[in-house]
Structure 1
Amino acid sequence: MKLNKYSLALILGFSTLFSCSDRMDLLNPNQQTSSTFGFNANDLEESVIAAYNHIRMEGSYARVGYTIDVCRGDEAWNSSQVWYLPFDDLNAEVTSDITWWPWREWYYTINVCNFAISRCGEDNSLLSDKMKRIKGQVLFLRGLSYYNLVGYYQNPPLITDYATYSSLDGLYTTNSTYNDVLDQVEKDFREAMTLLPSRDEGGEWAGGRATCGAAAGYYARALMMRQKYSDALPVLKDIIDKKYGTYRLMDNYGDNFREGTAYENNAESLFEVQYLDYGSQGTDDEWTPVNTSPNATQGSAIESNFGPGNYGGWADISASPWLYQLFKSERTTNGRLDPRLYWTIGTYENDWADFEFGNIAYNQKLTSTDNIVTNNTYGGLPIAKFTNLRTGLYSTIITGLHDGINLRLMRYSDVLLRAAECENEVNGPTQQAIDWINEVRGRVGLADLKLKDFDTADKLFEQIANVERPKEFGCEFGRGFDLIRWGFFYDSDRLQQLKEHGTVRRSTVGVKDPVNYSDIANDPELKSTFDTYISGHEFLPIVQQLMNNNPNLKGNSANYSTDNSTYFRESGCKVRPVVNLNK
C-alpha cells in the first residue's frame, strides 16, 4: 500500500472554527473539527492514513530520524563532517535544531493515534472487524512512536489520552520514566496483536499496513530493550511457527533492498515504510513537518545521505572499515564473498564480475583501479543499502526526497536472530539457537555454525552481536538501539570495543584497509567516533527550546551527562563480557 498524503490537513489541528454574526454562530461546513469528525470508520480511516504518512517524514524515517541511529552504531560513520557529525560523535548539542526533529514527528503521529483511539472505545469486543483494524493500526503506530522516542530521548512525556490536549496543564506535562514509556510501548503492541489480521488473512489490505505479525515482532523488540528474554522468546517462536502469518527469508538477500512491487512488501518483511518508486512520484521536495502538497515526491532522502558524492549524493554517511573487514574475513562454502557485502558496501571486488549486475555503481562499470569513496574530501566506504547503487535501474542519484525504495524496518531474519539471542540468554547455547542462526547464514551460502564451538553463552552472544547481526543488518536502522539494550556503553571493555569498531580513516585512499585503534594517537587521518562519548550521551538530549516552552519538562542523561550504568544494572540488566572469537 502506497499511502496517500491527501488527508494530512486533518491532523494539522483539531480546533473548532466558527463564524459569528449578531444573530447566530455558524459552523463552517468546509472545516472539520474534533467535535464533528471521527465518529465513523470512514473518518477514522483518514486518521490512519495521516498517521502512516507521518512516519515517512524528515524526522521519522524519510531522513534524519532514520540516519541518526545509523550514525549512532559502530558500523557506520559521518563522512561529511557537517550534517551528522554531532550524532556520530555522540555529542549533539541541546541547541541543535535537527536534534528535535524526531521528537516533533513522533509526537505528531501520537496526536493522530490518540484521537483515533479515543473514538474507538475501550471494549474491543464491541468493535466491527473494520474498527478493530483501525484501532490495531493506530495502537501499533503509537507504540512505534514511543519506541523511537524512548530509544532516542530516554524519558519523553507519555501522553495517551486525547482529552489531555484540552488544557495547557495536560499539554505541558512532565517527563515519564524510561520504564513507564516502555511499559506503554509493550501494552500498545500487545493489544495491537489481538486486533490486527495476519498478512495471510489481510490479503491486499495487508500490503504495507501493520499486521499482527508486525505488532508481534515489535512487541518482542520492546521486551528485549529491557532484556526480558524469557518473555520475548515465546513471541518470536510463535512468529516462526506462523501464528501471526507466514514469513520466510527471500532466496535473494538483495530483494530486500530494491524498489518495485516484485520486491517490496515481500515474504520476509514484517513491516516497512512505503515510498513511491522513482518515476511515479510528484515533483515537490517538501522539507516541512506537514507535507501537504498534492505533488509531494513521497520518497525518502536515505539514498542522498548514503550516496557517493561523485554520483550526485550528499556523501553524509559511510560504512566502517570494521564492517568491511568483517565481511572479508569469512567466505561462503563455494569460496566466494558473502553476497550481503555487495548489497551493503559499494566497493569493487573480483567476486562481483559475474554476480547480480556485476561491478557497477549506478549503471557505471567499475574497474579494479576505481576507488569509490563516499566523500571526495573525507573518503569513506559508500553504503549501498536502500540506494540504487547496485539495482541496475538508474545512472545517477536524484537527490532530495526521491529514493523510492521502501525501508524494511523489520525482516524475518531479525526474528530468527533475536530468537537465537533469547534462546541463548534463557537456556544457554543450544542446538535450537544455532539452527536459527544457520538459517540466516544458509541463505547467503555460509557454512553452518557448530554447537561444539560455542561452549558458553558469552561466546555465542559475541557471535550474534558482533558477527551475525552486523553482517545481516549493517548500515540499517537499529544498531544504536542494540548497543543501548546490550549495555555496551556501561562497561569499559565494551566501550573500548566500540572505539575499535568505530575507528575510521578520513582520507580518499586506503579506505578499505584495516585500521587499528592503537594507531590513532600517531596517525592524524584516524579517528574513532566513540572517543568523544561522554556518559549519558548514548541518548539524544532534549533540546533547550522544548524545555523553554514547557516549564515542566526536564532534560535527560544527555542534557546533564549522567551515567546510566547504575540504573541499567539495578534494573536487572547485564552486560556480557567481551569474548575473543578467534581463540
Structure 2
Amino acid sequence: MKLYKLSLALVLGLGMLASCGDKLELVNPNQQTTGTFGFNADDLEESVIAAYNHIRMEGSYARVGYMIDVCRGDEAWNSSQVWYLPFDDLNAPVTHDISFWPWREWYYTINVCNFGISRCGDNDAVLSERMRRIKGQMLFLRALSYYNLAGYYQNPPLITDYAGYSTLDGLYGKNSSYDEVLDQVERDFQEAMTLLPSRDAGGEWAGGRATSGAAAGYYARTLMQRHKYSEALAVLKDIIGKKYGTYKLMPNYGDNFREGSKYENNAESLFEVQFLDKDSQGTDDEWTPVNTSVNATQGSAIESNFAPGVYGGWADVSASPWLYQLFKQERTIKGKLDPRLYWTIGTYETDWEGFENGNVGYTKPMTATDTVVTNNNNGGLPIAKNTNMRTGLYDKVVTGLHDGINLRLMRYSDVLLRAAECENELNGPTQQAIDWINQVRQRAGLVGLKLADFPTADKLFEQIANVERPKEFGCEFGRGFDLIRWGFFYSADRLQQLKEHGTFRRSVHHAKDAVSYTQVGIDPELKSSYDTYAQGHEFLPIVQELTNKNPNLEGNSANYGSNNATYFQGKGWTVRPVVSLGH
C-alpha cells in the first residue's frame, strides 16, 4: 500500500472541545501545538507518515539527495556538464547551494522523528504493540537520516532531544564527530530491530513500511562503514537465516526496477522509497518540505535525470564506459550478455532481440545503427535503471517528479554480497563467501566462481568491489559510501584506479568504445572525474550559509581541504591493494 495516499500533514488531529466556566474554548484542529498534539497513537501515526513523506523530497531521495551519490561513484558521470558537476568532479565549493539540500531534508525528517520518539518514552516494555511499531519506524527513519548525513557531511550536529529545541543552543547544534553520529545510528537501528515486525507480518509491513529486516540490513551497513565486520556478519547471517523475515532473489533482475504492485515491495526488497505509479499521481510537482499540495505528483525525478534528451529527459547523468566494458567481459552460461546490462545501460545489443521488451527505448524500437546517447551535446551511455526506457510502459519521459518506480534502497543481493565481503575480511577466501557470491551470479546466468581462483583475500575483495558490486548495483545510490569505507581516496593506487574507471568521452560518437586514462590530456574529448578530486571532498562541504548562521557550527574536511587518511589509518584500517583479476 502506498503510504503517501494518506495525509502528509504532521499537525492534523481531532479538535478538542473544553469548557471553562461559562466560556466555550475551541482548539483549531489545523493549528495544534506540541502541547495539544501527539499524546495518542492516532496522532503519532500522522507523525510517522510525515516522516516517510520527508524521505521522498528533493534533497532526500526524490532527486538531488539520491543523485549526488550516484555522481560521486566511479560507474557514472555528469553528461550535462552542468547540474551535479561539482559532485561528479568532487570539488564542490562551500558556497554551492545544492550541497545544502540533503542537509535540509534529513534534518526535517529528524525533527519529526525526534518529536514522535519523545512521545513514546524510554521504556519500550510498557508500550502497546501499536506504539512499539510507531517508535520503531521513527527510530529507523532517524537512523536513516543520520546515516545519510554522516555519509555526505562527515560531522553533522547530532540532535536527538526534542525538548532541546526550546533553546537556541538546542537549535544551533555544534558538530558531532563521524563516530559519534554513527554510534547513534547503530543504537537507533538496533532498537528498531527489536520493535518492528518482519515483512512476514503482511499488510503494510510487506508493502512499504520499515521492518525489522530493513533495520537489520541498515544496521549491518552502518557497522561496515567502520569495518566492524564480525558484528556485521552476524547480522547478515541472521537476515539470510530469515530471523527478520523471508527474503529471496527475484528470478528476474528487472523486476527490481519496474513500477506496479506486481513488482514493487517484492521478496528481494528490504526497504524502498514509495512513489505513486505515474498514472496515479497528482499534477503539482512538490520539490521541498514546505510544500504540502494535496495534488502533489508524489513521484521522483530520477528518471528525468537519467533519461536521454531525445526521449524528453534532462540528460544529466550517464553510465561510464568502464561499467559498460565490465559487462561485456563475461558472458552467461548460454553465451549471452549479462541480463543486468539490459536494465542498467540502454544500448542496442543483438542479444536483446527477443529478450524482455527487446531493443527498445520508451516503446520505440532501436536498431544497430541508432546512436542514442544521453546528452545531445556531450553524448554518454544512457542509464536505463530506475527509468521506463526498457519497461514498455511509456513512450516518453514526463519530466519533473513523475517517475513512479519505487527506489529499492536495499535488496537481498546486497545482503549476500556484503556477507561474502565480511567473510572474506575475517577469514580470507572461503567456500562460504564464494557460495554467497554465486547466488547472485546464478540469478544473472553466469558461471559460478571457484575458490581455487582466489588464493588471497585481496583478490576476492577486488572481485567483489570492482566486478560483482558494480554489475549488480551499477548507477544506484551507495557506491560513494562504499568508496569511503574502503578508503579508496587514501591510496595512490586506488585513486589512480578511480581515475581510470571515471574516464569518459564527451562526444555523441563512439559512446560504447573503451577509453584509456592515459589519453586524458591528449585526446580533447576525454576527461576523468577524479582528476579534479580535491582532498577531503569525498564528503560534501557544510555550506557557508549554515556556518554563517550557526555560531556553533564548523566545517568538515571538504571545507578545510584536509586529508581523511589520518582518521582511516588511525583506526588501524588498511586499503586493500589493487589486484589484477586477469580479465
TM-score of the pair, normalised by structure 2: 0.97
Q: Output the amino acid matched with 2:335.
A: G
For structure 2, which runs of at least 5 residues remain unmatched after alignment? 13-22
1:252 matched to 2:252: yes
Contact 1:6–1:294, Cα closer than 8 Å, also in 2: no
For residues 357-396 of structure 1, what are the structure 2 equivalents within 5 Å? 357-396=357-396
Q: Output the amino acid matched with 2:576.
A: R
Question: 2:527 is paired with a residue of what secondary structure?
Answer: strand
Counterpart of 2:223? 223
| Superposition deviation, residue 291 in structure 1 | 3.2
Residues in 1 aligned to 2:241 and 2:6: alpha-carbon distance in whole angstroms = 39
Select between 539-548 and 568-577 the one with higher mean Cα deviation.
568-577
For residues 390-469 of structure 1, what are the structure 2 equivalents within 5 Å? 390-469=390-469
Residues in 2 aligned to 1:200 and 1:25: alpha-carbon distance in whole angstroms = 47
Select between 268-277 and 27-36 the one with higher mean Cα deviation.
27-36
Counterpart of 2:15? none
| Superposition deviation, residue 459 in structure 1 | 0.3
Select between 89-98 and 553-562 the one with higher mean Cα deviation.
89-98
Contact 2:174–2:554, Cα closer than 8 Å, also in 1: yes
Any idea what the Cα deviations from partners look like across 1:54-86, whole Å, max 9, x if unmatched? 000000000000000000000000000111101
For residues 187-336 of structure 1, what are the structure 2 equivalents within 5 Å? 187-336=187-336
Any idea what the Cα deviations from partners look like across 1:75-109, whole Å, max 9, x if unmatched? 00000011110100001111111100000000000
Counterpart of 1:495? 495
1:522 matched to 2:525: no
For residues 37-186 of structure 1, what are the structure 2 equivalents within 5 Å? 37-186=37-186
Residues in 2 aligned to 1:6 and 1:446: alpha-carbon distance in whole angstroms = 43
Counterpart of 1:550? 550
| Superposition deviation, residue 156 in structure 1 | 0.1
Residues in 2 aligned to 1:73 and 1:29: alpha-carbon distance in whole angstroms = 47
Instruction: Rate the CA distance shift 1:379–1:217 in 2: closer, same or farther, 3 A.
Output: same
Q: Output the amino acid matched with 1:44.
A: L
Counterpart of 1:534? 534
Q: Output the amino acid matched with 2:238.
A: D
Residues in 1 aligned to 2:24 and 2:244: alpha-carbon distance in whole angstroms = 55
Contact 2:198–2:205, Cα closer than 8 Å, also in 1: no
| Superposition deviation, residue 169 in structure 1 | 1.1
Question: 2:278 is paired with a residue of what secondary structure?
Answer: coil
Any idea what the Cα deviations from partners look like across 1:485-532, whole Å, max 9, x if unmatched? 000000000000000000000000011000000011210000000000
Counterpart of 1:473? 473
| Superposition deviation, residue 206 in structure 1 | 3.3
Select between 522-531 and 24-33 the one with higher mean Cα deviation.
24-33
Question: 2:187 is paired with a residue of what secondary structure?
Answer: helix
Residues in 1 aligned to 2:380 and 2:120: alpha-carbon distance in whole angstroms = 50
Counterpart of 1:564? 564
Question: 2:66 is paired with a residue of what secondary structure?
Answer: helix
Contact 2:486–2:575, Cα closer than 8 Å, also in 1: yes
Residues in 2 aligned to 1:459 and 1:6: alpha-carbon distance in whole angstroms = 50
1:577 matched to 2:577: yes
Residues in 2 aligned to 1:203 and 1:5: alpha-carbon distance in whole angstroms = 15
Question: 2:10 is paired with a residue of what secondary structure?
Answer: helix
Question: 2:279 is paired with a residue of what secondary structure?
Answer: coil
Contact 1:143–1:185, Cα closer than 8 Å, also in 2: yes
Q: Output the amino acid matched with 2:159.
A: I
Contact 2:156–2:175, Cα closer than 8 Å, also in 1: yes
| Superposition deviation, residue 30 in structure 1 | 3.8
| Superposition deviation, residue 164 in structure 1 | 1.1
Question: 2:530 is paired with a residue of what secondary structure?
Answer: coil
Q: CA RMSD in A?
A: 1.3
| Superposition deviation, residue 203 in structure 1 | 3.5
Select between 461-470 and 1-10 the one with higher mean Cα deviation.
1-10
| Superposition deviation, residue 204 in structure 1 | 3.9
Any idea what the Cα deviations from partners look like across 1:224-268, whole Å, max 9, x if unmatched? 000110110010000000000000000000000000000000000
Counterpart of 1:32? 32
Q: Output the amino acid matched with 1:443.
A: R
Residues in 1 aligned to 2:427 and 2:152: alpha-carbon distance in whole angstroms = 31
| Superposition deviation, residue 6 in structure 1 | 5.8
Contact 1:348–1:366, Cα closer than 8 Å, also in 2: yes
Residues in 2 aligned to 1:29 and 1:581: alpha-carbon distance in whole angstroms = 64
Residues in 1 aligned to 2:572 and 2:202: alpha-carbon distance in whole angstroms = 39
Question: 2:4 is paired with a residue of what secondary structure?
Answer: coil
Q: Output the amino acid matched with 2:279.
A: G
Question: 2:58 is paired with a residue of what secondary structure?
Answer: coil
Q: Output the amino acid matched with 2:536.
A: G
Q: Output the amino acid matched with 1:341.
A: L
Q: Output the amino acid matched with 2:581.
A: L
| Superposition deviation, residue 153 in structure 1 | 0.1
Instruction: Rate the CA distance shift 1:11–1:110 in 2: closer, same or farther, 3 A.
Output: farther
Question: 1:527 is paired with a residue of what secondary structure?
Answer: strand
| Superposition deviation, residue 470 in structure 1 | 0.0
TM-score of the pair, normalised by structure 1: 0.97
Select between 171-180 and 28-37 the one with higher mean Cα deviation.
28-37
For structure 1, which runs of at least 5 residues remain unmatched after alignment? 13-22
| Superposition deviation, residue 2 in structure 1 | 1.1
| Superposition deviation, residue 5 in structure 1 | 6.3
| Superposition deviation, residue 286 in structure 1 | 2.0
Question: 2:217 is paired with a residue of what secondary structure?
Answer: helix
Q: Percent identity?
A: 79
Contact 2:11–2:31, Cα closer than 8 Å, also in 1: no
Question: 1:116 is paired with a residue of what secondary structure?
Answer: helix
Contact 1:10–1:32, Cα closer than 8 Å, also in 2: no
| Superposition deviation, residue 442 in structure 1 | 0.1
Contact 1:196–1:211, Cα closer than 8 Å, also in 2: yes
Residues in 2 aligned to 1:11 and 1:498: alpha-carbon distance in whole angstroms = 47
| Superposition deviation, residue 388 in structure 1 | 0.1
Residues in 2 aligned to 1:8 and 1:115: alpha-carbon distance in whole angstroms = 16
Question: 1:310 is paired with a residue of what secondary structure?
Answer: helix
| Superposition deviation, residue 163 in structure 1 | 0.6
Residues in 2 aligned to 1:342 and 1:138: alpha-carbon distance in whole angstroms = 37
Question: 1:8 is paired with a residue of what secondary structure?
Answer: coil
Residues in 2 aligned to 1:372 and 1:326: alpha-carbon distance in whole angstroms = 20
Contact 1:106–1:146, Cα closer than 8 Å, also in 2: yes
Q: Output the amino acid matched with 1:358.
A: G
| Superposition deviation, residue 26 in structure 1 | 7.2
Residues in 1 aligned to 2:79 and 2:484: alpha-carbon distance in whole angstroms = 23
| Superposition deviation, residue 150 in structure 1 | 0.2
Q: Output the amino acid matched with 1:512.
A: K
| Superposition deviation, residue 573 in structure 1 | 1.9
Residues in 1 aligned to 2:524 and 2:192: alpha-carbon distance in whole angstroms = 52
Any idea what the Cα deviations from partners look like across 1:382-434, whole Å, max 9, x if unmatched? 00000000001011011000000000000000000000000000111000000
Residues in 2 aligned to 1:419 and 1:472: alpha-carbon distance in whole angstroms = 15
Q: Output the amino acid matched with 1:464.
A: I
Question: 1:31 is paired with a residue of what secondary structure?
Answer: coil
Residues in 2 aligned to 1:323 and 1:184: alpha-carbon distance in whole angstroms = 35
Question: 1:409 is paired with a residue of what secondary structure?
Answer: strand
Aligned residue pairs: how many? 573
Counterpart of 1:16? none
Instruction: Rate the CA distance shift 1:72–1:3 in 2: closer, same or farther, 3 A.
Output: same
Question: 2:522 is paired with a residue of what secondary structure?
Answer: coil
Instruction: Rate the CA distance shift 1:383–1:11 in 2: closer, same or farther, 3 A.
Output: farther
